Structure 1
Amino acid sequence: METIETKNLERLKKLSAQYFRTIKPFPDKKGLFTAQIKLSNYSELGCIITETLKLCIVALDQDAHKTSDTVKTSPINVSLILEMVLELIPTDEFEILDEIHQMFVGDN
């Protein structure tokens, strides 16, 4: 007969395979991982990079956008940056935390 610990370990292995998908091991580099951002095309990538840099410049020096030739007077597309950040949130991993919590805390 299996012990509760053995059953929980098997369940954890299944859950981790199912949910831990946001970062993937980097090939040929032990201890390094990659995370992907979904993009439509190179233009979108360029926009994200540009908007992120503009946001950083303005955050560092609020008057920089008034005199800079690099940062145009157009408003920073914060929604584009926030969409990119949303892509990086490990929602699957949050779900497994609920499952683990239920296994170890909720069953008592």
Structure 2
Amino acid sequence: METNETKNLNRLKELTALYFKTLKPVNNNQDDYVIQIKVANYFELGCIITDLLKLCILALDHDMTNIDKKKNQAINVSLILETVLQFFPLDEMEFLGYVGEVFE
């Protein structure tokens, strides 16, 4: 008969395999991970990068006067938030809920 600790450990291993999906190891190296974001094309990726840079400049300088005036300089905050939402480890948060149940 399995001990309670062995059952808990096996359950944690199962849950880890099911829910830890946000970070993926690089070349099976446990010290380096990658996270993927979904973009429609290179243009959307460029928009994300430039909006992030503009947002950082605005945060540092509190104005956008030294940015090139020729192009639309509005920061697409919605696009930035959608990208950040992709980083949020929702599966891992669900896992933590199950871990709490196992050890209650």
Displacement over 3 Å in runs of 4+ = 70-74
Which ranges in structure 1 are unaligned for 5 or more consecutive residues? Answer: none
Q: Larger RCO: Structure 1 or Structure 2 (Cα < 8 Å, ≥ 6 residues apart)?
A: 2
Q: TM-score, normalised by structure 2?
A: 0.91
CA-based RMSD of the aligned residues comes to: 1.7
Matched pairs, number = 104
Q: Which residue of 1 aligns with 2:41?
A: 41
Cα distance, 1:30–1:93 mapped onto 2, change above 3 Å: closer
SS at match of 2:55: helix
1:103 equivalent in alignment to 2:97: no
| 1:47-99 Cα shifts (integer Å, max 9, x gaps) | 00010001000110012x12432795632111100000000000000000000
Determine whether 1:9 maps to 2:9. yes
Whole-Å Cα distance in 2 between the matches of residues 90 and 38 of structure 1? 15
Which TM-score applies when normalising by structure 1?
A: 0.88
Identity of aligned residues (%): 55
